[in-house]
Amino acid sequence: MTDHSIKGKVVLIAGGAKNLGGLLARDLAQQGAAAVAIHYNSVSTKKDADVTLAAVKAAGAKSAAFQGDLTTAGAMEKLFADAIRTVGKPDIAINTVGKVLKKPLIEISEAEYDEMSAINAKSAFFFLKEAGRHLNDNGKVCTLVTSLLGAFTPFYAAYAGTKAPVEHFTRAAAKEFGERGISVTAIGPGPMDTPFFYPAEGADAVAYHKTAAALSKFSKTGLTDIEDIVPFIRFLVSDGWWMTGQTILVNGGYTTK
């Protein structure tokens, strides 16, 4: 029987202080991870990072947090180097970093496009690069994208458009890292009930998304519950499971691809 286990693994989570990343950090520690290192972006998130670190320690895992803007290759190199020096080489690397912009394409400025590209695409590329350089053999890499990659919708050109390259990065990394037994995947949730979602949406859009999925009435708010995403990712990064180069789209608690 295959052992789908997290026990004894060293985990690195980019964007791991709060929301889905924070819940993943807690869950993997509870599942027996030996160490969980989390990244957080800004000083304003340090309090959340400290709370997550305390929860990870309480679950019996070693923990560490590192602050940084991951939109440069150098910053990503530093994150992995600092994590390795503190908790050891990772077996599991999860990237939840992202930024939403909902705006008509003709109104998006060059500065806005550059910021979206740096946060959503560039950081994902260099996260995969550093994971490929530093993960232990038979490791697992998972990146958060968006279910909008399977949609035909207006106003998310900069968001979905700068997440779309991550699908190809995932496939390429899976081919290149596979000879070392490293599984590389991406998961694309639907609109999640987190502070990440609401600032980009007006009241009408929020109301629509809360009823749009077939299973909306079964979730707490109608949006995707992050508690329902955690088991997908836990399974993808566990021992005994190899999926390569796949993007799994999840919306409202059901798989669409």
List of domains in the chain: 10-255 (3.40.50.720)
Residue 255 CA to its chain's centroid (Å): 17
Taking only the tens place, the pLDDT of each residue in 64-93 is 999 999 999 999 999 999 999 999 999 999
Q: What is the pLDDT of residues 1-53, one digit of tens each?
A: 346 799 999 999 999 999 999 999 999 999 999 999 999 999 999 999 999 99
Question: Is the pLDDT confidence value at 254 over 90?
Answer: no
pLDDT of res. 153: 84
Q: Give Cα separations from 174 to 77, 149, 179, 257 (angstroms).
A: 20, 19, 9, 18
d(CA 244, CA 170): 8
pLDDT tens across 138-164, in order? 999 999 998 778 778 889 899 999 999
- Residue 209: pLDDT band (50, 70, 90) is low
Q: Is the pLDDT of residue 104 over 60?
A: yes
Structure tokens at 220: 């707490």
pLDDT of amino acid 253: 39
How confident is residue 226, by pLDDT bands cut at 50, 70 and 90? confident
Determine which of 31-45, 95-109, 224-238 has the lowest per-residue pLDDT on average.
224-238
